[in-house]
Amino acid sequence: MSHDEHWLLLCGGVGGAKLALGLAHELPPGSLTVLVNTGDDFRHLGLWISPDLDTVTYTLAGLVNPATGWGLAGDTFHCLEGLSRLSGPDWFRLGDRDLATHLERTRRLAAGERLGSITSDLASRLGVSARIWPMSDDPVATLLHTDSGLLEFQDYFVRRQAAPVVRAIEYHGASEAGPAPGLANLLKDPGLAGIIIAPSNPWLSIDPILALPGLRQSLADARAPVVAVSPLIAGQAVKGPSAKIMRELGLPPDAQGIARHYLCLLDGFILDDRDEAEAAGIGLLGLETVAAPTLMRSLDDRRSLARVALGLARRLGNSIGRPHRQTG
């Protein structure tokens, strides 16, 4: 592998962070950039909280709570217990050590520092060699139009445990937000060997990124092949409400539905072995389709799925006459 090779992963929550870890182990230090959803961000207890940035950072630093995939392993919740005694909001579980991240991020934002610069500094102080970029330094809020009204993301996802029926999803502020500085250049960089869309929830974790001005077009224009990993296995989300949201939006919760969601952007698609029967149909959409184990329980699972994604992107990148991606 040529050492100027660079890779870009688009990701959101827990599933995305798992593949980020697999890729970080399979690639040389500094050759992976993880572009992270910030639509889940919100102000809570006076703190600015960026859950997906922290989930990716803690995961790549080897510090994440393995049981939940977010927060810090071994963290305590004394502050939250105290807050609850004072009848403060305790529905969003903030650990005592995790609070340091939110306090420091909030302090530095108030001092005028960019979210991207804060994120990179916190990651490097935690020993992370991959580049972790917020999708934008400007605020974007995923809002859900549901049968319980218009809900902020964490209110829907955590407080109401994704129970409300989703009618439509809005990425408030996305059209005014600037994509991460450096992203446009990275997408034009001849050393960019591939772009991978993680097995994150397409509607909640990837679409906020794709809603940024010009992003879809610059992905379509990029020479680097684009490969997506399905977040569903046998019609079920590995974690979270992907399948539920698909049904609520009137879409069949299957791998083909995921492929169609990203279709114009993709060259390749990875689905789980259990969904192999769908591979031919997705291939007819013009996508190089590979079936592989996509459930990531161990580090080896994460690394082997990363190798499948890297291998597919390399094959697509090398094949001269690869089917031209529809643009737009």
User: Cβ-closest residue to ligand FO1?
Assistant: 13
Residue 256 tokens, joined:
């083909």
The DSSP-derived string for 143-202 is EEEETTEEEEHHIIIIITTT-SPEEEEEEETGGGPPBPTTHHHHHH-TTEEEEEE-SS-I
Is position 59 an interface residue for ligand FO1 (rule: CB under 6 A)?
no
CB of 161 to ligand FO1, least distance (A): 7
Tell how strand 288-292 and strand 268-272 pair up. Answer: parallel
Choose between 70 and 203: whose C-beta lies nearer to ligand FO1. Answer: 70
Choose between 42 and 192: whose C-beta lies nearer to ligand FO1. Answer: 42
Which helix (DSSP H) or strand (DSSP E) does residue 117 occupy? helix 115-125
**Interface positions, 157-216, toward ligand FO1 (CB under 6 A):** 157-158
235 backbone φψ class: left, alpha, beta (φ>0; ψ -120 to 50):
left
Interatomic CA distance for residues 148 and 127, integer angstroms: 42
Among 47, 75, 83, 92, binds ligand FO1 (CB under 6 A): 92
Q: Candidates 91-99, 113-121, 168-176, 285-293 — which segment interacts with ligand FO1 by CB under 6 A?
A: 91-99
Interatomic CA distance for residues 17 and 27, integer angstroms: 15
Q: Candidates 80-88, 118-126, 154-162, 263-271 — which segment interacts with ligand FO1 by CB under 6 A?
A: 154-162
Other beta carbons less than 10 A from residue 214's beta carbon: 13
Choose between 212 and 222: whose C-beta lies nearer to ligand FO1. Answer: 212
Other beta carbons less than 10 A from residue 52's beta carbon: 28
* 3-state SS track over 289-307: EEEECCCCCCHHHHHHHHH
Q: Candidates 23-31, 92-100, 229-237, 273-281 — which segment interacts with ligand FO1 by CB under 6 A?
A: 92-100
CB of 314 to ligand FO1, least distance (A): 29
Is position 54 an interface residue for ligand FO1 (rule: CB under 6 A)?
yes
Binding mask 239-268 for ligand FO1 (x = CB under 6 A): ------------------------------
Interacting residues toward ligand FO1 by CB under 6 A: 12-14, 40, 51-52, 54-55, 70-71, 92-94, 98, 154, 157-158
